[in-house]
Each structure stands twice: as C-alpha cells, then as structure tokens.
Chain A
Amino acid sequence: MANFNTHFSVAAGASAFVSATLLSMEVVSPEQAVVAFGLGTLGGLLPDVDSAHSKSIKVGFNVLTLLITIMLIFAKSATYSLVEMTLSSVVVFVTIRYAFLELFRKISKHRGMFHSIPVALIWGVVVAILAQWFFALNSLVSWVYGFMIIFGYLVHLILDELYSVDLGGRRMKKSFGTALKVGMFKTKEQQIHTAIIYVAIPLLFMMAPETTMLQESLFSKEAWLTFLDIVLPYDGKWFFH
C-alpha cells in the first residue's frame, strides 16, 4: 500500500496533467483549472480518511473544517459582526476538527467501502451538487470539479492495487483487491453497506446538475477532436507561435 507522500505526489501530478488538458481544451478557465487541480489532489487523499491515524484523515478534516468555517463566514457576513463571526467560526472549527474527527475515527474501518469505486462516484456527485447549489457554479464547472474528485480518488485506488503486487517475489499481497472494488459481499453487514451506497447514488443524481455539458465537453466525438487539436502544435511551429 502506497504511503501518504506517494499518494499526494501521484495525485498532484496526475491532476496537474488533467487540469492543464482541460484548460487547453478550453473546458475551464485558468482560475477553474487551479481549483480542479486542488480537488483532484484532495481526491487522491480522500480514500485514506477512514484510516484512524493516517495523515490523510488530518488533512481531510482540516480542509473540510476550513471549508465549512469559510462557508459560515460567507453566509453570515451580511448580518453578523466581526466578533460574532469569529466566535461562531471558532465553535464550528473546534466542533468539527476535534469532536467529529474523534467520532469518525471510532466508527470507521480502514479499507472498508471507502476504498471502492461507487464511493468515489458518491464523492464526485456530492461535490458537483455543492458546487452548483452552494456556489451557483454552472453545470459544466460543477461536474468538472466532481469529475476531478472522482479522478483523484480512482488514482489513489489504482495506486493501492499496484502496490499490492510484489513484483520481486512474483506474488500478490494480502491487500490485493481491497482497494479498487465495486462492493463488499462477504458478510451480511458488508452487503448492507454496499446496498446502501448503491441506493444513495441515484438519490444524489436526482439533485445533481445536468450532465449534458460534461458529456459534450469531455466524452463526445467533438471533445476527442478538440483533444487532438491540442496534442501537437497546430501550426507546425514548436515553441515559437
């Protein structure tokens, strides 16, 4: 299993490549590409937040706590005074960062359903919903952000699987198959976990932004032609356009 630094480096590198490609294809603006890069990198750390003592859980909760605290400040900035905003921010920060984190550590189990493809999808849809409903972003940008979370998440899962192959000893480690999975079916409890996650996906999709723009911009013949346009210099001149 890859460590925190490896996950961070690989997710950041892969996200940089994808967000630069999206920028070059004119799917996102430069500012949006920066956010997309950040979300892809964050997505690469998310699967390990179920590991009680990993760096990922600390980073994940810090980012989440800061995000919620900033959202509170945005929402109340028109009516709250500076002192009220400061006090409520401190309360929210301490509650989530410490109380919720401890609770989460107690109930989560590493390499459970958090390391699975459907949970990656859930994270992506949730991010797309939040981007549109909370920040009023358009459908394409909302879904690009959701897509980047899913992408980073999948990079993490694939990396974990690659690390579970012992090339020197030509054998599979015990952890093989526990990261990139579609569900857990061995025990009744695992089957219930899996079922709930699969029920949650269509429910979340009902609230999600329309996907038409994402399909046209990333997963269409037109998108493929646009991608081909940017692979090599269109005017045949290298570096001197």
Chain B
Amino acid sequence: MKKSIIVSVVAMLFVGCVPQPKPSIGLGVGIGSSVIHSEYGQPPRNYRVAIRNYFSAKLKRGSTARYAFSTPKRAYKRKGLVYGGDVSWKGWRVETSVAVPSRTGREQRPRNYMVLFKGEQIVEDILGNSHSLLVKVDP
C-alpha cells in the first residue's frame, strides 16, 4: 500500500510540478510590425539556402536530399528545466521537411524539422513538429 502511494505521488508530482509554457508571452495579432521585429528580429530572408547548407553539412547524404520549407514563423523556446527553464531563444522558425535517400539510394519518407533562426543565423534544429519547451507564437 505504501509503495502504491509513493508511485501515485511521484506521478502526480510529475504532472503538477512541470510548468506549462505560456503561449501568451508572444505578441498578439495586429500589433505593429516594428514592435514584432523588436521582439523577434527581422525574419530570415535567405532561409532556404541557409537550411540547405546547414543540413548538407549535418546529415549524411544531406546534399542530395529533397527539401520543402514553410515561411518563417515566430516562436520561442525555453531552456531545459535542469538549466533553469528560462526563455533561451526567441526568433523565427522555419518548418522544413527533409527527404534524405537511404544508404542504398532508396527514397525515404521526409522527416520534419523545426529550424530556429536568430536573424539570418540558424541557432538550432529540432527534429519533429513539436517540442514541450517550444511555443509556436504563429501557428
């Protein structure tokens, strides 16, 4: 019985203690672009080239991959809780799908990445369409 209480308490602690990101931190729709840019900076212009170059260097066979890009959208990301959980990046994300051929040359299903920009610089890429610590200001 004692053990079951401990198991449930631990489960509840995990559910209760981890702070939920607050989407409201982002600027609302309709606010002037100059204010948006002071928060998030200018959206990247040459993001397609930057992302291709980035993944060509990072992924095996990345230079022969097929790419598809969204337009830049605002987002921010928190640090991992072990590092304090503060907002560590605020900028523009480009949702990118990358179809890298397998080592036998077989065409593979594309993988989705969120590529995070600060100005024209790529800060980080995140595999997948979501991350618990990343908040999409623009959906």
CB closest residue in chain B, given A78: B84
Contact B11 A229 (CB under 8 A): no
Return the contact of B109 from the options A74, A108, A216, A230 (Cβ within 8 A): A216
The CB with the most chain B CB atoms within 10 A, among A138, A140, A229, A234, is that of A138
**14 pairs, CB–CB < 8 Å, chain A vs chain B:** A26-B60, A74-B83, A107-B2, A112-B3, A132-B133, A133-B132, A134-B82, A135-B80, A136-B83, A196-B4, A207-B132, A209-B131, A209-B132, A226-B108
Answer whether A113 and B18 are a contact pair too, CB < 8 Å, given A136-B79, A138-B128, A213-B127: no
B23-31, B34-42, B68-76, B98-106 - the one binding chain A: B98-106
Residues of A within 8 A of B106 (CB): 225, 229
CB closest residue in chain A, given B109: A222
> Complex: how many Å from CA A75 to CA B83?
5
In the complex, whether B49 has a CB less than 8 A from a CB of chain A is no
Residues of B within 8 A of A230 (CB): 103
Answer whether A200 and B11 are a contact pair too, CB < 8 Å, given A107-B6, A139-B127, A193-B4: yes
Residues of A within 8 A of B11 (CB): 122, 199-200, 203-204
Residues of A within 8 A of B7 (CB): 113, 122, 193, 196-197, 200
> What 0/1 pattern do residues 135 to 147 of A give for CB contact below 8 A with B?
1101111000000
CB closest residue in chain B, given A213: B128
> Complex: how many Å from CA A206 to CA B103?
36
Residues of A within 8 A of B130 (CB): 139, 210
Residues of A within 8 A of B8 (CB): 196, 199-200
Residues in chain A within 8 A of chain B (CB atoms)? 26, 71, 74-75, 78, 107-109, 112-113, 122, 126, 129, 132-136, 138-141, 189, 192-193, 196-197, 199-200, 203-204, 206-207, 209-210, 212-213, 216, 222, 225-226, 229-230, 234
In the complex, whether B126 has a CB less than 8 A from a CB of chain A is yes
B58 to chain A, nearest CB (A): 10
CB closest residue in chain B, given A137: B80
Contact A234 B103 (CB under 8 A): yes
Answer whether A189 and B1 are a contact pair too, CB < 8 Å, given A213-B128, A229-B103: yes
Residues of B within 8 A of A126 (CB): 14
Residues of B within 8 A of A229 (CB): 102-104, 106
A101 to chain B, nearest CB (A): 14
Return the contact of A107 from the options B3, B102, B109, B129 (Cβ within 8 A): B3
Answer whether A138 and B126 are a contact pair too, CB < 8 Å, given A26-B60, A71-B82, A226-B102: yes
> What 0/1 pattern do residues 75 to 112 of B give for CB contact below 8 A with A?
00111111110000000000000000011101011010
Minimum-distance CB pairs A-B, first 4: A136-B80, A200-B11, A193-B4, A138-B127
> Complex: how many Å from CA A78 to CA B83?
9
Residues of B within 8 A of A136 (CB): 77-80, 83, 131, 133
Residues of B within 8 A of A225 (CB): 102, 106
Residues of B within 8 A of A122 (CB): 7, 11
> Complex: how many Å from CA A217 to CA B133?
22
B8 to chain A, nearest CB (A): 5
> Complex: how many Å from CA A193 to CA B7?
9
> Complex: how many Å from CA A200 to CA B103?
41
